[in-house]
Homo-oligomer: A and B are copies of this chain.
Amino acid sequence: MASEPSAIAEQKAEAVDAKPLRADARRNRDRLVEVAVSVFAERGIDGSLEEIARRAGVGIGTLYRHFPTREHLVEVVYRREVEALCAAAGKLAQKHPSDVALEQWMQRFVDYIATKRGLATSLRIVLTTNSTLFSDTFGRVSQALRQLVEAAVADGTIRGDVDASDVLHALGGIYSAPDTPEWRDRSRRLVKLLMDGLRFGAAKAQ
């Protein structure tokens, strides 16, 4: 246990129930996910898998060995993004006053949803087919939000008569709103408006 090489620390989230990959396999797999993130971002969820393999510098066979179906790959990419979004909550909380952290996180939430619009149809299929994925996501996002809301309530920067689910409910409108050109601006304004409401209550109480 003494002199373990530091690489070990990096991947532990995935270490569940899977035997360790050979070095080249792990490298390629990571590479593929990395590239898939960009390709899906650029071309949408229907982006070509062959392009992903090409850009990652591996054969198409390798891609398919790691991710037997498109959905597998999509799921991994998706989970990764949700992960990043949730991890951002902790970091924002450290660097900013709690109300600002909440606001910035919600703005980031908007950005995140933005990348998902348009893909909605295909993504919905994946989410309906794989309901574990859906509930996992929902749970993680809720938890990140709860953390921020509770901190802000605790130190009085936002009003105390709301909880995380109220805020999540309010954000629901962002997700379900139609996909117009103004969507993004409208959503950013909605977040500000929501924050004003949350802060107002706090000011009043003080």
Q: Which residues of A contact B (CB under 8 A)?
A: 121, 124-125, 128-129
Contacts and interface: CB of A to CB of B under 8 A. Distances in A.
- How many copies the complex holds: the figure is 2
Nearest to A122: B125
A140 B128 CA distance: 27
A125 B121 contact: yes
A129 B121 contact: yes
A128 B129 CA distance: 14
Contacts of A124: 128
Nearest to A125: B125
A179 to B, nearest CB: 14
Contacts of A125: 121, 125
4 contacts: A121-B125, A121-B129, A124-B128, A125-B125
Contacts of A128: 124
Nearest to A121: B129
